[in-house]
Structures are given as C-alpha cells and as structure tokens.
A and B are shown apart, each in its own frame.
Chain A
Amino acid sequence: MHTDQQYIDALRQNDEKLIAKIYQNHAPGIKAYLQSKGASTEDAGDIFQEAILDVYKLALDEKFVLSCPLEAFLLLVCKRKWINQREKFKRQGVTKSLDIGFPSIADDDDHKAAADVDRVEKENLVMTMLHRISERCREIIIAAYSGWHQEKLANEMGVSYAYLRKKKSQCMAELIKLVRNGG
C-alpha cells in the first residue's frame, strides 16, 4: 500500500485538512501540466476537482488501494479527462513521451491505475446516461436504487407493482443500451 493511501482515507472522511494538503501539494503541478496542453486555468480547476471526485468514487469501494503516488494517479485521471474533453485522441491512454518533467506511474502499477481510471469512467458514463433517459425512467431508477421498497414505491407512484417492475426493466434496458453506445 502506498503512503499516499492516507489521502484516500481523507477523501472518504471528508478530512478538510488533508484534502487541503492534496491541493497544496498537487494542484500547482497538475495545473501547469494541463495549461501546457492548452487548458485554461478554469478548465484545469474543473478537471482537477473532477479528478479528486473520481478518486473519491473509487474510494467508495472499501477495498480500493492506491498503487502509485497520488499525484501520478491524479495526473493520469486529469490527462484522460482533458483528452476526452478535447475529443482529439479518444482512449489512447497515457502519452508519456509528451510528459517529460511530470510525474508518471511505474510500469508495474500502470496497468492497475489505468484499470481504475477505466472503471470510474464507466461509472461516470452510467451516471451521465441516467440523466439522458426519460424523466419517468430516471425517477423510477433513482427511487428503486435509493433504498425504496418496490411495493411501497409502486404505491407512492400510484401504479401497480407489476407495472412498476415491467417499467423498471424497460428503463434499465434503456439505460444499458445508452451506456453500451457510449451515449
């Protein structure tokens, strides 16, 4: 386990002091990197913040362990986000040759870190697509997976339990198809 794992715990616990340290230690370097790739200061800020949130989403899985320095991991996430945002080089992974002077990930850890980033990108895609399906479907899915008992939910929505189940499976199919098509 990497010593930077303490920052993963800090995100889980919303530890303001340690989270401020993440910014203090890593924001300037990653900002410089993103700006060197053409991002504005505001773009860099948005991407950095999204990257921290992505790390947090990964950290929601209790078993998540950081396999490399946090800065290198954040840089990988930010780089992918910037590339995706620019829509120039979709999913081409790490471009180390362009990144002399910036932290990179050791080869052994590269695969795991990239897999983690893939995973959180997939999760983000599902949540983005959730907001593209019909409003009724979104309501049903959010309620169904926010701990509502389905019979109670059907009652609340004024529909039969059978209808709700049928509708939910249609909504899930709609969502899954959108995710498969990448939106």
Chain B
Amino acid sequence: MNNFDAIEDYINGDLSGQDRIAFETRLKTDIDLQKDYQDWVNTENILKKHLSAQDKTIQLKSTLQPLTKKYFSSQKPEARLVSIKSAWLAAAAVAAIFIIYFSLPGGVDHFSTPEMPQAIVRGDENLANKGALLFNEGHYNEALPLLQQQAIGKPDDATANYFYAVCLVKTDRYEEALPLFLNLSKGVSAYKVDASFFAAYAAYKTNKKEDALKYAKMVPENNPYFKNAKKIIQKLN
C-alpha cells in the first residue's frame, strides 16, 4: 500500500485499531509520509472550501462583471437593455466556462465546450432547463430544437443565441452558426470574445479564410479559447 492509499484509509477511518496505531507511529518518524499527509490535508481543505463556495462565487462574479466592464472598458458600450436574468445567466455561463476550462492540447477541433447554465434559470424553466440539460450531457441533436425555440423566441437574449449557435457547431451546422456568432461578437454581451473564437472556427470550417483569420485574431491571450484561435491562425498562415 502506498502512502496516499494509507492516508485515504486513515482519514476515512477505515484502518483497524492496530493498523491505525502503526500508521500514526510511522507518521511521527517517516518524513515522506509526513509531507504526503500534510499536502493531502492542505489540498483537501482547499478543495472543500472552494467547491462548497462555488455557487456564491458565481453570484459574486455576476456582481463584479458589470462593474469591471464599467470601470475598465476601453470602449463606450452601446446602449442596450439587458434583463437581470440574462446578465445572471451570462455571468454564470462565463464562470462555468472557466470552471470547466482545462489545458487544451492543441488542434483546431479540440476546444472545451461551454457548460450551459440551467439550475439558476427563472421562468421558462421547462424548455430552458431541458435544452440546457441535453446540451450539457452532449445530446446536441436533441438539444438543438429546444435551443432554437429559445433563441427564436428571444432574439435579444445573448445566452440563448450563444448556446444555440454552439449547438449548431456541435452538430456540424457551421453555415447557420456563423451569422449568430458574428452578431454576438459585434455585441456587448459576456459572450462577445468567446463568440469571436467560434465565429473564427465556423468560418474556418466553411472555408471562409479571411473571416476565420479576422475573428481568430480578436481572441485575446487571457481567453480560454486563445490557444484554439492561435491554431486557426497557424493553420491558415
């Protein structure tokens, strides 16, 4: 049994009395075990703390996002009405993208799919939640008509349009997705930058080289899709 297996058993209370005493005795003298144990406990505390605060962190982000935009925007935003629900959804979706963002190994087609917020939706619960659930589970063909209905019903709702467009990409309907992403990338929603990447991707898939390059170059370094956008640029240059 390696140190980490022993630590898991010890912390879970799964060691018998004798094994427990033996573990504690070893812990007093074995420097490697002490280090592994300390790191395990520290890591566990951090995980518990952060994972239990995830919902509140998303809520706080939704408070911070418009303030950051207000105090750090280099452009004057266009006048636009955004419902509280949409702003909430947008912020939560952006947070979800970061939460599920992994290191991307490269390759134009290897991008992380954003997670569509569902539990926090108020109103239209059935349609929105069912579509979001199917989308998050990867059932894009089934999600598509529901998301389309949402997007058509709410043409100004950036969240509905963004996830409908991503769903179109996931079902290889790039021609239909492209104008939606172009529209989002010209807007001021929380999806503006991510939409630029997807616009570049959809343009790339439909051999619209100029648009692909143009929108790929609009993805900044701190965006989760930066590496993918860079790959598109490399492929086309």
Residues of A whose CB lies within 8 Å of any CB of B are 11, 14, 16, 19-20, 23, 27-28, 31, 40-46, 48-49, 52-53, 56-57, 60-61, 85, 122-123, 126-127, 130-132, 141-142, 145-147, 150, 165-166, 168-170, 172-173, 175-176, 179-180
- A20-B67, A53-B60, A146-B51 known; A41+B73 contact, CB < 8 A: yes
Residue among A28, A131, A169, A179 with the highest chain B CB neighbour number at 10 A: A169
B39, B60, B72: the one within 8 Å of A176 (CB): B39
Interface string of B98-112 (1 = CB under 8 A from A): 011111000000000
A132 touches B63 (CB 8 A): no
Interface size on B, residues (CB 8 A): 45
- A43-B222, A141-B47 known; A165+B8 contact, CB < 8 A: yes
A176 touches B43 (CB 8 A): yes
Minimum-distance CB pairs A-B, first 5: A45-B72, A169-B8, A27-B71, A41-B74, A173-B4
- Hey, which chain B residues are within 8 Å of A45, CB to CB? 68-69, 71-73
B14, B47, B57, B69: the one within 8 Å of A56 (CB): B57
Residues of B whose CB lies within 8 Å of any CB of A are 2, 4-5, 7-9, 12, 14, 36, 39-40, 42-44, 46-53, 56-57, 59-61, 63-65, 67-74, 99-103, 220, 222
- Hey, which chain B residues are within 8 Å of A179, CB to CB? 39, 43
A14, A61, A147, A165: the one within 8 Å of B52 (CB): A147
- A60-B49, A142-B51, A179-B39 known; A42+B74 contact, CB < 8 A: yes
- A14-B60, A165-B9, A165-B12 known; A42+B72 contact, CB < 8 A: yes
Within the complex, what minimum Cβ distance (angstroms) separates A19 from chain B? 6
- A132-B102, A169-B8 known; A145+B44 contact, CB < 8 A: yes
Tell me the complex Cα distance, A60–B55, Å. 13
Closest chain A residue, CB of each to CB of B62: A14
Tell me the complex Cα distance, A119–B63, Å. 24
